[in-house]
Chain A
Amino acid sequence: MAPRKASQTTTRKTEKNPAKKQTKSLLSAKLDAPSGGATRRINPLTAFLNVPSSASSSQTSQTKDKGKGKAKAELIDLTEDVNEQDTTAGQLWVDLYEPTTEVDLAVHVRKVNDVRGWLTESITGKNKYRKILVLTGPAGTAKTTTLRVLARELDADILEWSGPTTSGFADVSGDGDEDSAFAKFESFMARASSCNNLFASTSQTSRRQFMLLEDLPNILHADTKDRFHSLLRSLVLQKDGKPVPVVIVISDNGMRGEAIDERTSAGGWIGDKSTAIDVRTVLPSDLLHGQYVTQIRFNPIAVTLMKKALQALLTKRFGSSKTQQPTKEVLDIIIDSSNGDIRSAINALQFSCIVPKGAKKKRVQANVVMESVTRREQSLALFHLIGKVLYNKRKGDAPSPSASAKDVQREKDLDASLKDKPLLPEWLGEHDRRTSRVDINDIYADSPIDSSLLGLYVHQNYPQFCNDVDELAALSENLSWVDASGGEQWYQANPYRFHILTAGTLHALPSPVERRHQKVFKPEFFGNLEKEKNAWSSVDDVRRWVSTRALRDPNAWRVGGWSRNSIVTELGGILKARDATMAKASQGSKDANERAPRQHRDFSHLPFVLRSVGRVEQLGETEEDQQDGSMAWDGTIDVEDEAAAAARVGGWLDSDEIEE
């Protein structure tokens, strides 16, 4: 609370200025002063300036301000009233409550220790191989925050590169602009790595520092990428002076499961590497697998850690008074839906706190609002979509044992409204099915996913819903057909994929589907695709190794060199043999080029284990679902069941809200 009071006087002046940006930067500058943080991001959510009246009033009353909750602060009326509100209203909590000590970090202790170990070794120059550190991981896993906290702890300066802001797209084609932007980056790197003693020389102690690259140059541009790579290489090989260690932060942009993802990464096409920013594009492969680069991967933040952090944040904000805090359920929803992204969790939390909290009725609304801010709604819809398709309910099915009387009645009504189709002729008798309760057009309209991803979900889960191989055969045949239909070009794509896929699946599944407490899993497809992509880049490394050696040998010249497939299928054996003999013969005395890149194991080693432990992730309707596992999957197909299940688990959804 101290900084807030400190800024009280300044805000009176600044808030009169309608330029929001300036207000905020001043505010943050003031707030930052005691914490000593480096740069602050500008708040993108101007919504928080127009704080709903009741929220501000609650905060003001909480902080015992003199404003007495003048609830008339409509919109951004810059009168005295506003000034008396909470001065931090314009701040995102993410920035406001950024951890300053290790205790506050929601990151696993071991990860923090890894990063700290690296930083101390590199800054003190103890280990000459600590030149580049790459932090990867999904967004919102406290990568940058960890760095800042550790920098403070180690008393080191962060030299951060922030890209120049170019004005619009006026000169997209001009490579000159690209050049100048990169030139700026180059000079930054040069200055940061050599002129580190500008201020330090005056005060004898040479400050410890490291470089932080988060805002990378446009490495999707081939030339820029090459220059960036050579810059990094020269930085690593720099011998004289005390080089400044570089930390690169790369957030994964996960695959979204659309057709393009598979197409680009299918069948090893080199072009796909350049379409995404990941470790392999940012760093050249010789560096990445070399000894100078360390990679530390951050995982999504664990539920328990996140809960602790959010609780701590709330106590910091509201003190011990429980009345102001969001309810436990809201907190659970936030944590649930954040998928380990703490930034989005805190944003959602802040949002939830400005929702008016009055009557009981309003509390329900708060939950509805939460639904729309968080990603929960989508996963719920997906869960039900897959359920509807895979449980294949048809007219006249007996109601599930868990269904209530209301549900049974509803099913009956639905059946009455369904018309029976005429029977098929005798020779097609085997294809006769009772009328389905699933309306494909309906689920198509509501589907949160496209046909490609639906196919993957169905594919991941269908075997457990079938009883024998013939049903499986019909279903997989349909999946295969749908996947192969259409042409190579986007305009040749089959527009009815979704319908055919669903109809074919419903047709092939047994009716009724036996209830065996089936669980629905997320497709393993993308994890494997990622592995395959990594392995392909290893294949390329080996291929480069083989062909450069062949080129150097004048007798060995031949046309074509090695194709990727022949490397994979034929070279594996010899690489393994080489490894074995090389290890025996000499330990590293041979010239490095004799040794094949060790990444070749990615494709040459394939031990067979009969039952491998998959890392299949269950598609959860709720987090609780995954934890106790007892919440089986039956009875949640129909609309009523959904609501009932939802109410049973969290109590945050009322049945009349989902029925539309």
Chain B
Amino acid sequence: MSLWVDAYRPRTLNDLQYHKDLSARLKSLASSGDFPHMLFYGPSGAGKKTRITATLLELFGNGVDKLKIDQRVFLTPSKRKVEVNIVQSNYHIEITPSEAGNYDRVIIQELIKEIAQTQQVDLNAKQRFKVVIINEADSLSRDAQAALRRTMEKYMSNLRIILCANSTSRLIAPIRSRCLLIRVPAPSKSEMQDVMQYVSRRAGFDLPPDVSDKIIADCDGNMRKCILVLEALKMQSPDLTGDVTIAKPDWELYCNKVGDMIIAEQTPARVMDVRAKLYELLSHCIPPTVILKTIAERIVSRVDEAIKPQIMHWAALYEVRMRNGTKKIFHLEAWVIKVMSIYKHHFYGMDLTELMEDF
């Protein structure tokens, strides 16, 4: 039995529970015979990949879900071998180039060229083209994006590309302009409520609405997270009645406590304590941007209105630094100290003009 998120996922465009108009549009697009390159974007857990899957099924019918996993080895110009896992059917292929780190350009070029130069041989295929799905497209390096841009024009006749990303801001403009942009917004609360009820029916139990409300309030419109939390909750307390508390993941609680530590004391010794915590979070693979965001939100919820913008300003700045630099801890810590300094000055009513000069 796989996870509920995977098991009760809608398969066709008709099954989709929300964003019905988007589904209708995708459906007519798939049947029009004039299918463009597409870029699905939206927050995580909104249903981008579910919609891509359903669109594929609409395009090619059954057969697209007969999958095999391949491991391919690519040779970089520096003779280094890069392994990538590739999931494919007869009609499509999907890759996650971010798995190859800096060498994503090689993979994009080699793989897409290879697919583009082979014609669809299956005469019964509904479409003459193949589809390449690129996951986590916003983590593609600039090189790879530039390589993709040329390929998209050149091989339009037998290849369509579907990109999936959280936001378009990290994609270069030429790619954005070559794709049909499809935004998949997060579902509304009532839509999420419907889905939760549907899942619990399929799983064979009754979900009290107040419990699902609690879960939804906790999940920020992330449907996947909602269902995962529901499944975990059901496992822990099978009857779901009475007062259920939704346990946050460990790392979130941890981040919140780190935020409290920062507000409680601003000294060099406390900096060392916070550093130990940050190291702990990083060595548990929590993405540094997530750490920064969670701590920042916690702090902002607990400080005076006047210094909130500054805290966020510096969080944004250090996030950029984090992307350019190599040592995440430097930037996280620099931000923590900055917040301490801002908080301390504000707390003691000191003159802020000095700090403002940096803006």
Contact = CB atoms under 8 A, between A and B. Distances in A.
Interface of A: 221-222, 259, 262-263, 266-272, 274, 452, 455-456, 459, 463-464, 466-470, 472-473, 476-477, 479-481, 483-486, 488, 524-525, 528-529, 531-532, 535-536, 539, 546, 549-561, 563-566, 568-574, 576-578, 580-581, 594, 602-608, 610-612, 614
8 residue pairs, one from A and one from B, having the closest CB atoms: A269-B101, A556-B6, A483-B325, A531-B283, A484-B325, A476-B334, A577-B232, A606-B250
A576 B233 CA distance: 11
Contact of A555 (B11, B101, B330, B334): B11
A469 B337 contact: yes
Contact of A469 (B11, B141, B344): B344
Contact of B6 (A267, A558, A573): A558
Interface of B: 1-3, 6-7, 9, 11, 44, 49-50, 52-53, 56, 65, 67, 69, 73, 80-83, 87, 94, 96, 99-103, 133, 135-136, 141, 164, 222, 224-225, 228-229, 231-233, 235-236, 247-251, 253-254, 257, 261, 266-269, 271-273, 276-277, 279-287, 290, 318, 320-322, 324-331, 333-334, 337-338, 340-341, 344
Contacts of B44: 566
Contact of A525 (B100, B322, B327): B327
Among A263, A528, A551, A559: residue with most chain B CB under 10 A: A559
A591 B136 CA distance: 33
Contacts of B236: 577, 580-581
Contact of B330 (A455, A468, A566): A455
A175 B246 CA distance: 56
B333 to A, nearest CB: 6
B11 A560 contact: no
A535 B67 contact: no
Contacts of A614: 276
Contact of A480 (B1, B9, B247, B334): B334
Given A483-B326, A484-B321, A469 B133 contact: no
A265 to B, nearest CB: 10
A550 B321 contact: no
A479 B334 CA distance: 8
21 contacts: A222-B81, A262-B327, A267-B101, A269-B99, A269-B102, A455-B330, A470-B341, A472-B337, A480-B330, A481-B321, A524-B279, A539-B285, A546-B2, A556-B7, A559-B135, A564-B285, A568-B286, A570-B225, A578-B235, A580-B235, A606-B281
B127 to A, nearest CB: 17
A557 B276 contact: no
Given A476-B334, A570-B224, A574-B231, A612 B268 contact: no
A559 B94 contact: yes
A528 B2 contact: no
A472 B330 contact: no
Nearest to A486: B324
A608 to B, nearest CB: 5
A267 B327 CA distance: 10
Nearest to B80: A271
A288 B337 CA distance: 41
Contacts of A274: 81, 83
Contacts of B103: 271
Contacts of A572: 249-251
Nearest to B69: A551
B81 A476 contact: no
A553 B321 contact: no
A611 to B, nearest CB: 7
A555 B12 CA distance: 11
Contacts of A262: 326-327
A480 B325 contact: yes
A607 B257 CA distance: 11
B310 to A, nearest CB: 12
B100 to A, nearest CB: 6
A484 B341 contact: no
A456 B333 CA distance: 13
Nearest to B162: A559
Given A463-B271, A558-B53, 14 more contacts: A222-B83, A269-B101, A272-B101, A473-B340, A477-B337, A528-B283, A546-B6, A549-B2, A549-B6, A554-B65, A560-B94, A573-B229, A573-B248, A604-B250
A171 B192 CA distance: 62
A568 B321 CA distance: 23
Among A263, A480, A485, A556: residue with most chain B CB under 10 A: A480
Nearest to B142: A488
Given A528-B282, A532-B283, A581-B235, A456 B327 contact: yes
B94 A553 contact: no
A569 B251 CA distance: 8
Nearest to A533: B283
Contacts of A468: 267-268
Contacts of B253: 608
Given A557-B53, A557-B65, A469 B6 contact: no
A129 B186 CA distance: 50
B326 to A, nearest CB: 4
Contacts of A452: 326
A272 B236 CA distance: 38
Contacts of A574: 3, 228-229, 231-232, 235
Contacts of A606: 250-251, 254, 280-281, 284
Nearest to B238: A581
Contacts of A484: 320-322, 324-325, 331
Contact of B100 (A271, A455, A554, A557): A271
A603 B344 CA distance: 34
A631 B160 CA distance: 69
B79 to A, nearest CB: 9
Among B49, B52, B254, B325: residue with most chain A CB under 10 A: B325
A552 B65 CA distance: 11
A551 B87 CA distance: 10
A556 B257 CA distance: 37
B359 to A, nearest CB: 14
Contacts of A529: 283
A562 to B, nearest CB: 9
Among B3, B49, B320: residue with most chain A CB under 10 A: B3
Contact of B279 (A259, A476, A528, A580): A528
A631 to B, nearest CB: 22
A571 B228 contact: yes
Contacts of B225: 570
B337 A473 contact: yes
Given A569-B249, A602-B284, A463 B272 contact: yes
Contact of A268 (B94, B133, B280, B285): B285
Contact of A560 (B49, B82, B247, B251): B49
A536 B135 CA distance: 19
Contacts of A485: 324
A473 B284 contact: no
A532 B9 contact: no
A559 B224 CA distance: 14
A205 to B, nearest CB: 47
Nearest to B281: A606
A571 B266 CA distance: 34
Nearest to A612: B276
Contacts of A266: 326, 328
B67 A479 contact: no
Contact of B67 (A271, A473, A557, A604): A557
B284 to A, nearest CB: 5
A388 B78 CA distance: 41
B355 to A, nearest CB: 10
Contact of A561 (B50, B87, B141, B268): B87
Contacts of B290: 565, 569
Contacts of B248: 573
Contacts of A464: 268, 272
A476 B337 contact: yes
Contacts of B83: 222, 270, 274
Contact of B267 (A259, A469, A555, A603): A469
